[in-house]
Amino acid sequence: MKLTVSKLKEEAIAFCKNESNTTHEDLIGVTDGKAVGTYIEHEFEKYLKNKYEVTIGSSARGIDLPDLHINTDIKVTSVKKPQSSSPFKNIEQKIYGLGHNLLIFVYEKTDINDKCYLDFKHCIFIDAEKTGDYNLTKILRKLIKLNADKEDIIDILKDSNVPGDDPALEILAEKIIKNPPEQGYLTISNAFQWRLKYNNVINLDEDVDGVHTYEKFNKKELRNYQTPIYITDEICGYLKNDLKINPEVIIEPFCRIGNFLKSASDTFPESKLIGIDIDKKNLNEVDSTIPNITLINEDIFSLKFENINNDSYLILGNPIGVTNSELSKISLNQSNFKNKTDFEALSRNSNIDISEYVILKIINEFKDTNTTIAFLCKTTISRNVFIELIENEIPYSFIKQINFNSHKAFKIDADACLFVIQFGGKPLTDKTCAVADISNPSEAIYKFGFKSDKFYSNIDDIPDLEGECQIEWRQGVKHDCAKVMELMYEDKHLINKNNEDVNIEDTLVYPLLKGSKLKKPIITETSMFTIITQKKIKQDTTYIENEAPKTWKYLNDNKDFFDNRKSSIYEKAPDFSIFGIGDYSFKKYKVAISGFYKNPIFSLVYSEKTMMLDDTCYFLSFDDYDLAYITMLILNSRLVRKFLKNIAFIDSKRPFAKKVLKRVDINKCLKLLSFSDLEETESELELDTYLTKEKLRKYEELFS
């Protein structure tokens, strides 16, 4: 069979899948990127020659697949530094492309013990006319669209350091005007050996004509986060060597192409393997050489497991990437922990991660059997599942969270783990879960769990500050209309985020501080402002027409922005309503924290006109500066910060939300913090000395 460009693209993808799911002993210990690239290139060429009639080129011929109907060069690059070199021919290549197609393999290499794994992150095919320089072709195409003349083009060529004298650049400019280049997607230097950088094409948000990638060909597979084989090998090794399990049946729900099953077959050769997937296409790609395996094209929850009579199960896999479309095919039923419909019961007000749903359903199915469950999931999910086990009094004999590098494995930013639960043995009475790292899974780093019915992210060495804060924590202003409501001064004119002049009264304009600006212990200035339309929730806003007629007109001129706000809280509310507003908003002094920060810092915020905070902030409000100042010192003390880190989950979207902050008991803080402790905090924050014993005594009297 003769190779075509279409077949080349298909085979490149198949090659990437195959090579990502096998080991490469020849590359163990190899650190030279060129050597790795040569190995991959030769393996792909052998792969093609075994299936097609194709000419394989050489360095003398210039490109790897020189047949005129293929005309493609193969480039292999590490994801850590995605680039390669290309022989310099002429400067026009930077504008009109290299003259041939490019097939680019982008890999990540991992050595574990005596095995080497290649994880192919991208497989990209770029048509010849798209191989020009990204920035230069983008500028030239824009200029031509604006009817630029030859001189304009020459100026851009000179600014881009395109080599050549004036006559040569003039000829090139004339050609560019008559024959505009296609948009290129490489970054090409002017060095003698051009450096071809592939970041632009790797980071494409969507397909473009002439550029085809492994990701775009396989949207479903990438969305499902297929687990690299080196991770499945490591997990199965841990389950056998550390937990000493020997399951009769191993089940991988949502098995996709079966990497866990492949590793399980090697690790537990006597076990019966069952791979389950709702998508038959996935099952067709499972390695056909895996012995003792049964593949079932079904969903995990409609399958009748009571028909499988065995003593021990291992259920493992990766539901991180289970999609809504997949879940919609799954059979839902009314049987669950709380006797409600599945989503109502398990969603905590319908806000549930799909993988959490999957894990909870499987626990409910197998909790009364001799079963080990080992799933990859986000660390936030493992905690939610743990809480469900405790709250629903489901006994378990072993539980552990083993963290791993999710960005390396799946290119996701969320913290992830292997979450292991065992049923069927002697139930544990300790309401904690040990946390370890995949590099040393046997050794616990810390534990999270319950102590006196309070949940802690770190159960060890907790300062006794637990209670109810004596001052109420509030959240900042919410308006969901930043383009209209948030303003800045430019040349003494107010400008909104639509870059429009805003001619309104100062009456309802207040300084605004965003959570991202809460980085200093004392803040008295901001460059942003906001319109505050109400002084309390649901206040009628028609008063604005009389008190600030220009503001009223401005709001009505932009009413469409307000009407298009999606949140249901604005339904049946007065026009231009805001939330997170009350008497507390207008107090002069506030002690505030950003809910998003991983490392808590509390800022004392004030200005001549009351400074408002946005809804990413949480704050305590005061009329007295000394009260606010001392509260800021208390909350920034080492003791309180340690307590907060023990009760907050740093990997959450908002680690320091109201439910966490309100657990800090100010009275208990005062009992454990001395004057010298607060002096030390003042010094650590690099503040001038302001605290005195008399000020602290008055503060203590208020809270005694």
DSSP 474-490: EE-BB-S-HHHHEEEEE
Could you give the maximum distance between any two Cα atoms of the chain, in Å? 92
What is the CATH number that goes with domain 223-456? 3.40.50.150
Q: Is the pLDDT of residue 225 over 60?
A: no
Residue 61 binned pLDDT confidence (cut-offs 50, 70, 90)? low
* Backbone torsion region of residue 491, taken as left when φ is above 0, otherwise alpha when ψ lies between -120 and 50, otherwise beta: left
Q: 60-83 burial, b for 16+ CB within 10 Å, e for fewer? A: eeebbbbbeebebbbbbbbbeebb
* Pick from 204-208, 423-427, 472-476, 691-695: least confident: 204-208
Give the pLDDT confidence score for residue 164 in this predicted structure.
74
Q: For residues 625 and 605, what is the distance between their CA atoms, to the nearest angstrom?
A: 10
Average pLDDT over residues 182-190: 81
Which range among 215-219, 229-233, 278-282 shows the weakest confidence by mean pLDDT? 215-219
Return the minimum-mean-pLDDT range out of 131-140, 203-212, 544-553. 203-212
Q: Average the pLDDT over 544-565 and give the result.
A: 94
Neighbours of 382 (CB within 10 A): 29
Q: How does 259-290 read in b/e, with b if 16+ C-beta sit within 10 Å?
A: bbbbbbbebbeebebbbbbbbeebbebbeeeb
The percent of residues above 70 in pLDDT, for the chain, comes to 87
Distances in Å between the Cα of 333 and the Cα atoms of 204, 348, 374 are: 41, 18, 24
- Is-contact 554 581, C-beta < 8 A? no
Q: Is the pLDDT of residue 413 over 80?
A: no
Q: What is the pLDDT of residue 231?
A: 87
Phi, psi of 340 (to 5 degrees): -120, 175
User: Tokens representing 85?
Assistant: 């070199």
If you average pLDDT over residues 145-157, what whole number do you get? Answer: 83
Q: What is the pLDDT of residue 308?
A: 55
Of the pLDDT bands very low, low, confident and very high (cuts 50, 70, 90), residue 224 is very low
- 193 pLDDT exceeds 80? no
Cβ atoms within 10 Å of 173's Cβ, excluding its own: 21
The region, left, alpha or beta by phi > 0 then psi within -120 to 50, assigned to residue 349 is left
Residue type at 447 in one-letter notation:
K
pLDDT at 336: 41
Distance, CA of 486 to chain centre = 28
> What pLDDT, in 10s, does the model give residues 606-647?
999 999 999 999 999 999 999 999 999 999 999 999 999 888
Provide the pLDDT for residue 349. 35
Q: Which of 360-364, 648-652, 684-688 has the lowest mean pLDDT?
A: 648-652
Residue 197 has pLDDT above 70, yes or no: yes
Instruction: Quickly state the pLDDT bin for 343 (edges 50, 70, 90).
Output: very low
CA 57 to mean position of chain CA atoms: 42
| Closest listed residue to residue 176, CA positions, set 164, 186, 194 | 164
CB neighbour list of residue 459: distance below 8 Å, 6 or more residues apart: 432, 446, 447, 448, 449, 451, 646
Q: Is the pLDDT of residue 87 over 70?
A: no
Instruction: Give the highest mean pLDDT range of 229-238, 340-349, 522-531.
Output: 522-531
Nearest to 521 by CA among 591, 615, 424: 591
pLDDT at residue number 19:
86
- Separation of alpha carbons 424 and 368, rounded Å: 7
Four-point Cα dihedral 583, 586, 588, 590, nearest 10: 80
For residue 452, pLDDT over 70 is answered with yes
Which pLDDT value is given to residue 612? Answer: 97
Stretch 253-270: mean pLDDT, rounded? 89
- Split at pLDDT 50, 70, 90, the class of 58 is low
pLDDT in tens, 35-55: 999 999 999 999 999 989 898
Q: Please report how many Cα atoms fall inside a 13 Å half-sphere around the Cα of residue 220, on the Cβ side.
A: 9
Average pLDDT across the chain, whole number: 85
* Domain range summary for the chain, segments of one domain joined by +: 5-133+184-217, 223-456, 474-703
> Which of 397-406, 522-531, 547-556, 620-629 is predicted with the least confidence, judged by mean pLDDT?
397-406
Residue % of the chain over a pLDDT of 90 = 47
Q: According to the model, what pLDDT value does residue 348 have?
A: 37
User: Which H helix or E strand runs over 529?
Assistant: strand 528-531
374 membership: H or E segment, kind and range: strand 371-378
Question: In this predicted structure, what is the pLDDT of residue 563?
Answer: 92
Q: What is the pLDDT of residue 345?
A: 41
- pLDDT at position 217: 42
User: How far from the centroid of its chain's Cα atoms is residue 588's Cα?
Assistant: 37
Which CATH architecture is the domain 5-133+184-217 placed in?
3-Layer(aba) Sandwich (3.40)
- Kindly state the tokens that stand for 416: 């992830």
Surface-to-core class of residue 394, CB atoms within 10 Å of its CB (0-12 exposed, 13-18 middle, 19+ buried): middle
Given this model, what pLDDT does residue 48 score? 93
**This prediction's pTM:** 0.60
Gap between the Cα atoms of 432 and 371, Å rounded? 20
pLDDT at 325 over 50: no
* DSSP at 414: S
Tokens of 592: 């505030």
